[in-house]
Amino acid sequence: MGLVTSGLNDSVNGVAGAANYISAHTGNPGGSGASEVTGGSYVRQATTWGAANNGTRVGSQVHIPIPSGTTVTHWGLWTASTGGTFKGWWQLSSQEAFGADGTLDHTPTLTSTAVN
């Protein structure tokens, strides 16, 4: 048994409807949102989610300010720009090291897959 396309879409719609603030992390955030970047002008950025399509929902690209000396390995999803509830994390396709203050440009994507 597995989810059909409408069920997969409902899954990503539920998560996207609950949270739209994207965070950057220097390690695996685990279940609490640990290892979130701090310092400099870092702040979570809001994304605008596009429509669900075959269990995938893509957000607008975010531009997250990252302080010098930081290596970003993961991104997270929150309900608020500060505080809020942590909803989950994903590993970046490749880590990004910042030798100087910079910007992490990221397009968040939620994907739900049918598991049998």
Counted residue by residue, the chain has a size of 116
Asked, for residue 45, whether it belongs to a domain, the answer is yes
The tokens for 80 are 């608020």
Helical H segments across the chain, by residue range: 5-18
pLDDT at 36 over 80: yes
Is residue 10 situated within a structural domain? Answer: yes
| Paired tokens of 95 | 């880590």
pLDDT, tens digit, 9 for 90 and up, residues 53-103: 999 999 999 999 999 999 999 999 999 999 999 999 999 999 999 999 999
Residue range(s) defining the domain that contains residue 40: 5-111
pTM above 0.85, yes or no: yes
* Single-letter amino acid, residue 76: G
Residue keyed to tokens 């390995």: 73
DSSP state of 104: E
3-22 pLDDT tens trace:
899 999 999 999 999 999 99
Query: Does the pLDDT value for residue 1 go beyond 60?
Result: no
Q: How many domains does the chain have?
A: 1
Under DSSP, the state recorded for 56 is E
Q: What is the per-residue pLDDT for 115?
A: 67
- Sheet architecture: strand order including 70-78: 45-46, 21-25, 70-78, 86-98
Q: Kindly report the average pLDDT of the chain as a whole number.
A: 96
Tell me if 116 is assigned to some domain: no
Residue 36 located in a structural domain:
yes
Kindly state whether residue 9 falls inside one of the protein's structural domains: yes
CA distance 98 to 111: 28
Answer yes or no: is 68 within a domain.
yes
46 inside domain: yes
Give the mean pLDDT of 110-115: 84
